[in-house]
Amino acid sequence: MSSLQTNSGTVLGRIVEARRAEVAHRQRVVPETVLRIAAKKADPPRDFVGALCRDQINVIAELKKASPSAGLLREVFDPKSLAVGFEAAGAAALSVLTEEGFFQGALAHLRDARGAVSLPVLRKDFIVDPWQVWEARAAGADSFLLIVAVLSRSALGELIALGRELKMEPLVEVHTAEELDVAIAAGARIIGVNNRDLHTLSVRVETSFELIDEIPNGCVAVSESGLRSAEDLARLRAAGFDAFLIGEHLMREADPGAGLRRLLNG
């Protein structure tokens, strides 16, 4: 068990501690059997992997109202209109923050965004329990985030396997070479390199360049955080990344869809 699973002294540690408590409460209110029934009735998953493998600059455009590092990003936050704008601008997929306490997210944001577009949608949250994967599928999510730093090896493997059972290939996020080794050993097929250090919230895009050569060719490689220019995307794509997750930069734009269009058009 990593120190982050027990240490609430870091930002990530505090978020995960709060998430575990929230999930434990919600499990008592909504049993997993209820979520399994709802998941079977949900729309079939859309092809998240396929969306990231197109021969072009594939951006996962992220919808988030706030973050611990930046505070409130958008006073007016309308997931439907944001999703429509991103789809029209050429996003490959969407990511929607659903964590309530630190990001002001909600599962309703994911449902609203997905219902407005035909793109696959990733649930961006701090997944620590299979219950949350069933909850994600019941809400219509097509993929979900797994953060290596907050999961034991056995839990990571179990959650990846459950995602595949539900036809939701997860995005497995790493920040260091050691975490990348864990992700590869667990059989991750989509590996995200987070340029933000979740201990300190500092950002170094160089992290992606340092790790890309260690990501197996058979995996989909995603660079996350701190991406602000068409030049960033071009350099990372040339280095071998298949897709790019961009949130804060777009959320700060008066018109996020127009901001994405500018990035994609260089």
- 217 is annotated as an active-site residue: no
User: Side chain identity at 33, as an amino acid letter?
Assistant: T
Residues 49-63, buried b or exposed e (16+ Cβ, 10 A)?
Answer: bebbeeeebbbbbbb
Structure tokens at 225: 């955080």
Catalytic residue among 87, 169, 179, 224: 224
- 80 is annotated as an active-site residue: no
Q: What is each CA distance from 132 to 22, 44, 141, in whole angstroms?
A: 11, 18, 11
Catalytic residue among 99, 223, 225, 248: 225
User: Of 182, 184, 249, 247, which Cα lies nearest the Cα of 221?
Assistant: 184
Catalytic residue among 62, 99, 135, 179: 62
- 224 is annotated as an active-site residue: yes
Catalytic residue among 194, 195, 208, 223: 194
Catalytic residue among 58, 67, 95, 124: 124
Catalytic residue among 173, 179, 195, 223: 173
Which value, to the nearest 10 degrees, does the dihedral of the CA atoms of residues 203, 66, 191, 200 take?
Answer: 30
- 40 is annotated as an active-site residue: no
- 194 is annotated as an active-site residue: yes
Torsion 54-197-143-94 (CA) sign? negative
119, 93 Cβ separation under 8 angstroms: yes
Active site residues: 62, 64, 124, 173, 194, 224-225
